[in-house]
Amino acid sequence: MVDFVPRQGELAMSITRLTRSTTLAFLLALVLTLCGASAAFASDGTFLTEWGTGAGSRPVAIDVDPAGNAYVTQIGAGFNRVEKFDSSGSSILTWGGGVLVSPRGIAVDPSGTIVYVADYGTNATNGQYVRKYDASGNLLDTWSGFGRPDGVAVDSAGNVYVAERGTGSIKKLDSDGTLLATWSGPAVDLNNPIDVAVDSAGYVYVTDRGNNRVRKLDSAGNVVDTWTGFAAPDGIGVDAANNVYVAEYQQNRARKFDSAGGLVLSLTPPTAYDGPRGIAVDSADNVYVTDMEAHRIVVFGTTPPPPPVSVPASSTWSMLALALGALGVLYLSRGRLAIQRA
């Protein structure tokens, strides 16, 4: 055994029968620590915070821009609008009142400057549009020709995907509203598709509510996978690592899956859900859930890693010497450290 007992305030350690492989791992960790390296962690489902959207407001869908501002569609008497919140949950502005009939899905483009809203409407002549706004709520364009649009998503190239409950289809459009493709019929077999999300690899995920499943499509609209085990799934979102998050209103749950459909964890708030409807992930992998009947937004993230240990230089060199010595015989040669293999 080799024991190193530093002065008070320094890191103490003991190495017993240290092998070359573990020593190399130790050296790598030490170098990363000394260089100040850090790692990003996908959400582990830790509850972070929640905020209310107002009595009578039923928050439907949510998306988050690169700056961490959250955009929420709301329905209910006196609402039918979009509300923008900062990262702490403070309201910044609202828009769409008197224009939006029944706003459902919402998506922010990669630049954070354009916001798309799927207006579900009430009939063929009242709503059923996709509205294009800037981030301050100014209406830029209105796209028609949809049948009960509910979910909307934007890919990294700025293309827009719309889930149409009324037609059981997914429509892909460019950022000017030009239709690029329609995926429908027996080939995709969608029944009441309610939301859509696109990952960094171009795969498209659809909550196929009427069939109690999630469909995974490639960029050409071909079905590549089907995930079952859901009960009327609603909102869907993806993170930077292509993990997929699904909210289930009827089951009062929200869950995280890997890109192959394997269950990773459940996102459970301290106070039980009452109708989780929408879900989104920000650039820091925090997860936002619209808890519709509880009139709130619930946010999950990652337990912060412990702060880096401050190791005085004398201790650092002592640890390095111990690690190198375990690889062989450590000695000084012409003023330089050298290792003689054992």
- Model pLDDT for residues 163-176, shown as the tens digit of each residue: 999 999 999 999 99
| Residue 13 predicted with pLDDT over 50 | no
**What letter does residue 322 receive in the DSSP assignment?**
H
**What letter does residue 305 receive in the DSSP assignment?**
P
pTM over 0.85: no
| Residue 232 predicted with pLDDT over 60 | yes
Pairing outcome for strands 81-85 and 70-75: antiparallel
| Residue 14 predicted with pLDDT over 90 | no
Buried b (16+ CB within 10 A) or exposed e, 213-232: bbbbbeeebeeeeebeebeb
| Residue 25 predicted with pLDDT over 90 | no
**What letter does residue 101 receive in the DSSP assignment?**
S
Chain-centroid distance of CA 261 in Å reads 15
State both tokens at 120. Answer: 């579900």
Q: What digits encode the pLDDT tens for the residues 98-152?
A: 999 999 999 999 999 999 999 998 766 678 999 999 999 999 999 999 999 999 9
| Residue 15 predicted with pLDDT over 50 | no
Q: How far apart are CA 262 and CA 213, in angstroms?
A: 13
Residue reference for tokens 């100040």:
36
pLDDT at 309: 55
- % pLDDT > 90, the chain: 72
| Residue 18 predicted with pLDDT over 70 | no
pLDDT at 11: 37
pLDDT category, 32, cuts 50, 70, 90? very low
Q: What digits encode the pLDDT tens for the residues 261-309?
A: 999 999 999 999 999 999 999 999 999 999 999 999 999 998 765 666 5
